[in-house]
């Protein structure tokens, strides 16, 4: 009976996600203005979590700088983007792996809310994408990165890529490490149907960019941000050390 109930819930949540996803796609397609489209995406993400019975708790939102910043979060599930869309103010743009650009409806929706796609495997294309993202940051755009770049079926914080930290260092803006808990339990890798669970997003103290060479500043930021997240994510051990 428990398995039947879990399957029924998962199917319900999947239908809710599909219906609201289509509604979001139509809305951001016709509504003018990036700020309005992002506000719509945020409202629909929050509505989905509420209807799906995934209680979202956001802690430390007061730690977000009033001005530009770069948020870096751990990555454990396909739900992470939805959760951070719901949790963060609508001024943030997401930096996403380019593979998502091949998902027709999702790619159009993400493009309309100002997401930036970056290539992970082709060095030349990746460098061009990094330059484009940097221009956005230099022009004052606040961004969200998942610096692991992907997630693993096994719990653990993977090695961080440098892009988020180089962007912050060159734009001279702070990094805000952000710990996401509960998404691995709600929708673990390899599972199609989600489970009902509580999800917590905790924003940690902002890390200021040090003066000097952007490369060394980025390396320092990456290490400080990763250590801050490891201290708060006891359920996600250091996978890079394995």
Cβ partners under 8 Å of residue 123, min gap 6: none
Please state the domain extents for the chain. 2-241
Torsion angle, alpha carbons of 158, 160, 164, 165, to 10: 140
Has residue 58 got a pLDDT over 90?
A: yes
**How many Cβ atoms sit within 10 Å of the Cβ of residue 56?**
17
81 Cα distance to chain centroid: 4
SS3 content of the chain, % helix, strand, coil (to 5): 50, 15, 35
pLDDT band at 79 (very low <50, low <70, confident <90, very high): very high
Global pTM exceeds 0.75: yes
Has residue 182 got a pLDDT over 90?
A: yes
Lowest mean pLDDT among 76-80, 92-96, 188-192, 224-228: 188-192
Task: Residue 46: name the closest of 82, 12, 90 by CA.
Answer: 82
Between CA 180 and CA 121 the distance in angstroms is 26
**How many Cβ atoms sit within 10 Å of the Cβ of residue 55?**
13
Between CA 157 and CA 180 the distance in angstroms is 12
To the question of domain 2-241 being in CATH 3.20.20.80, the answer is no
Q: From start to end of the chain, where are the E strands? A: 56-59, 70-73, 92-97, 116-118, 142-145, 175-181, 199-203
Q: Write down how long the chain is.
A: 242
pLDDT band at 215 (very low <50, low <70, confident <90, very high): confident
Between CA 186 and CA 141 the distance in angstroms is 31
Between CA 85 and CA 92 the distance in angstroms is 8
pLDDT at 47: 96
Torsion angle, alpha carbons of 68, 81, 198, 224, to 10: -50
To the nearest whole percent, how much of the chain has pLDDT over 70? Answer: 99
To the nearest whole percent, how much of the chain has pLDDT over 90? Answer: 65
Q: What are phi and psi of 190, to 5 degrees?
A: 90, -5
Mean per-residue pLDDT of the chain: 91
pLDDT band at 240 (very low <50, low <70, confident <90, very high): confident
Between CA 113 and CA 85 the distance in angstroms is 10
């Amino acid at each position: 009976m428990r398995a039947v109930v879990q399957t029924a819930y998962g199917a319900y949540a999947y239908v809710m996600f599909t219906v609201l996803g289509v509604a979001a796609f139509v809305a951001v397609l016709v509504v003018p203005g990036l700020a309005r489209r992002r506000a719509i995406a945020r409202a629909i993400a929050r509505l989905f979590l509420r209807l799906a019975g995934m209680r979202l708790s956001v802690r430390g939102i007061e730690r977000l700088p009033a001005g530009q910043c770069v948020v870096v979060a751990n990555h454990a599930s396909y739900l992470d983007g939805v959760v951070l869309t719901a949790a963060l103010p609508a001024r943030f743009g997401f930096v996403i792996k380019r593979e998502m650009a091949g998902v027709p409806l999702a790619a159009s929706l993400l493009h309309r809310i100002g997401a930036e796609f970056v290539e992970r495997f082709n060095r030349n294309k990746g460098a061009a994408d990094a330059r484009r993202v940097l221009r956005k940051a230099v022009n004052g755009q606040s961004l969200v990165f998942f610096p692991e770049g992907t997630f693993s079926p096994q719990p653990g914080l993977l090695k961080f890529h440098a892009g988020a930290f180089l962007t912050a260092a060159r734009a001279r803006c702070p990094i805000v490490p952000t710990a996401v808990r509960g998404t691995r339990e709600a929708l673990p890798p390899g599972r199609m149907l989600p489970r009902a669970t509580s999800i917590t997003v905790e924003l940690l103290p902002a890390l200021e960019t040090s003066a000097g060479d952007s490369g060394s500043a980025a390396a320092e930021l990456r290490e400080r941000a990763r250590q801050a997240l490891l201290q708060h994510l006891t359920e996600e051990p250091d996978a890079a050390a394995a």
